[in-house]
Amino acid sequence: MKYKVILFKIFVHLAAFLPLANAYYLAFTDQLGADPVEAIIHFTGIGAFNLLLLSLMITPLSKRFKISILLKVRRLVGLYSFTYAFLHLTNFLVFEVQFDWSLFLSEILERPYITIGMAGLLILLTLAITSISLLRKKMAKNWQKLHNWVYLAAVLIGIHFYWSVKSEIIEPSIYLFITFILLAFRFKKLNKWIKKD
């Protein structure tokens, strides 16, 4: 079993990291379309969302089909989602606004779709930091409470995507729909959690 888990983890690393490395290589060498900046921003953004939804699918899938090995990579998938999301923002700063800090800050504060995307990223950052085993143990019960915020992050990111497009709303609508399906799986749990607080 342990051997299988290690193999599975290596697979997840490769599946998440290789496409990223490939995209950056193509973008640096001006082979990622005519506008590599737009392309890399979209690639990392949609990649972050895909990985986040994937990480949220793990629990219901492993319960339903009794595949416990999936749970072993849940943290890893979540951390890759944060990595993609962090690079998404970094791309915007470094390659899109090109270190025009005042433009960077004003865009984050003045454009609601960027503001909520930023809020989603800050949640992911908090979750990534507290995913360290030591902190998880120290936080005990509070850890789960904090990590329930991932659902809010998913909704914020879904709206960020929906709001960012010009008229092509079908793809972001599908993403939002999947997000709410995944939320529905936790309806009881979230309801209890919200009422308690």
Between 96 and 186, CB nearer to another protein? 96
Distance separating alpha carbons of residues 104 and 153, to the nearest angstrom: 21
Contacts of 154 (CB under 8 A, 6+ apart): 52, 53, 56, 120, 179, 182, 183
Which of 22, 68, 90, 98 is the binder for another protein (CB under 8 A)? 98
Which of 103, 109, 122, 129 is the binder for another protein (CB under 8 A)? 103
Distance separating alpha carbons of residues 150 and 179, to the nearest angstrom: 11
**Rounded least distance, CB 109 to another protein, Å:** 12
Residues numbered 1-30 forming contacts with another protein, rule: CB under 8 A: 24, 27-30
Residue among 178, 191, 196 at smallest CA distance from 60: 178
Distance separating alpha carbons of residues 145 and 134, to the nearest angstrom: 17
**Rounded least distance, CB 94 to another protein, Å:** 8
Distance separating alpha carbons of residues 176 and 157, to the nearest angstrom: 9
Which of 4, 13, 33, 122 is the binder for another protein (CB under 8 A)? 33
Q: Which residue has the tokens 């504060």?
A: 109
Please give the structure tokens belonging to residue 174: 């599908």
Contact 127, 121 (CB under 8 A): no
Residue 36 found at the interface with another protein (CB under 8 A): yes
Which of 4, 18, 100, 145 is the binder for another protein (CB under 8 A)? 100
Between 61 and 116, CB nearer to another protein? 116
Listed ranges 66-74, 124-132, 136-144, 165-173: which one lies at the site for another protein (CB under 8 A): 165-173
Report, in this order, helix, strand and coil percent for the chain, each rounded to 5.
Answer: 85, 0, 15
Which of 90, 106, 142, 191 is the binder for another protein (CB under 8 A)? 106
Residues that bind another protein (CB under 8 A): 24, 27-40, 95-98, 100, 103, 106-107, 111, 113, 163-164, 166-171
